[in-house]
Amino acid sequence: MTVFQRMVLGARAKLAREVELCVLPNEERTRVFREQTKTDQPVECVWNVPRSAEICSPKKKPVSNSLLKLFYGGTLTSKILPKVLLESIVEMGSVELHIVGYATYSETKYFQWLRDFVRQKKNINLYGSLCRHKMLNVADLCDAAICLYSPKENQINFRYLAGASNKPFDAMARGLALVVSDLSQWTQMYLGEKNGYEVKDGKEYRISDVGYGIAINPESGGSVRAGLEWMLSNREKLWEMGERGRKKIQKEWNYEKMFTPVLKKVEIK
């Protein structure tokens, strides 16, 4: 750990002990935060969910034999938008990918590769950075959203992303099914595994009858292709996943509902 990192953590701990309330977006991050800062102040977990005003109307059921349209919105990195996924989409041909996002300084080489890769590809559209409103408009063109993370990432911000990442919640609010990594936190939250529902094993993918999407291994070409093939062959089930997710956001996983415990603890003037 560098001197700067120690200074930041020390300031963070001091601040956590002096404020009246701390808010974090993931249960495990909340636990680690309490342990690291030794704070006695209240700590609430509030996921990064959308506002109720951002929930769309029900999407129309897909037309038979239409293109499967996928959406990705966020930072452009090889760990989140893996090359094997892009290559598989191009190979299949009947899948279209719409990408909104930007690359950080550390991912400039990947971004250059991505721009070169999609230049001659008719079924991959790279929009670059867009404001939130325009990004959601692009999402509305699609059937499912890519929300993948590397299972080998050890950094705490990646290891404990379920709830902290706004990507799945934003997609659900727009009626999109999810394509998530086959990791326990993600399958528990988005496939219903945490509530005791059966998660079905397919050919290198997982789904459930009550979930909001499909889980795959983003580092396996076989898993990626099997997941894409399932979505192509089960368009109505994919639509049902998206509609279940939209209703979940509408009923429970929205900003107004989930921020209620925080509002009860602070004085609103």
Name the residue ranges covered by the structural domains of the chain. Answer: 3-51+253-265, 52-251
Res 245 pLDDT > 80: yes
Compute the residue count for the chain.
269
The whole-angstrom separation of Cα 118 and Cα 137 is 21
Q: Which fold has domain 52-251?
A: Rossmann fold (3.40.50)
Q: Could you report the per-residue pLDDT of 107-116, keeping only the tens digit for each?
A: 889 999 999 9
CA 134 → CA 73, 91, 129, 177, 233, distances in Å? 11, 29, 10, 19, 30
pLDDT at 64: 74
Helix axes 235-251, 221-233, angle to 10 degrees: 90
Rounded to 5°, the CA angle 97-99-104 comes to 145
Helix, strand, coil: what percent of the chain each, to 5?
45, 15, 35
pLDDT at 153 over 80: no
| pLDDT exceeds 90 at position 268 | no
HSE on the CB side for 209, CA within 13 Å?
3
Instruction: Say how far apart CA 22 and CA 160 lie, in whole Å.
Output: 17
Residue-wise pLDDT for 116-135, tens only, equals: 999 988 899 999 999 999 99
Residue 269 has pLDDT above 90, yes or no: no
pLDDT for residue 198 is more than 60 = no
Res 152: pLDDT: 64
Query: What's phi and psi for 70, nearest 5 deg?
Result: -110, 150
Q: What is the pTM of this model?
A: 0.89
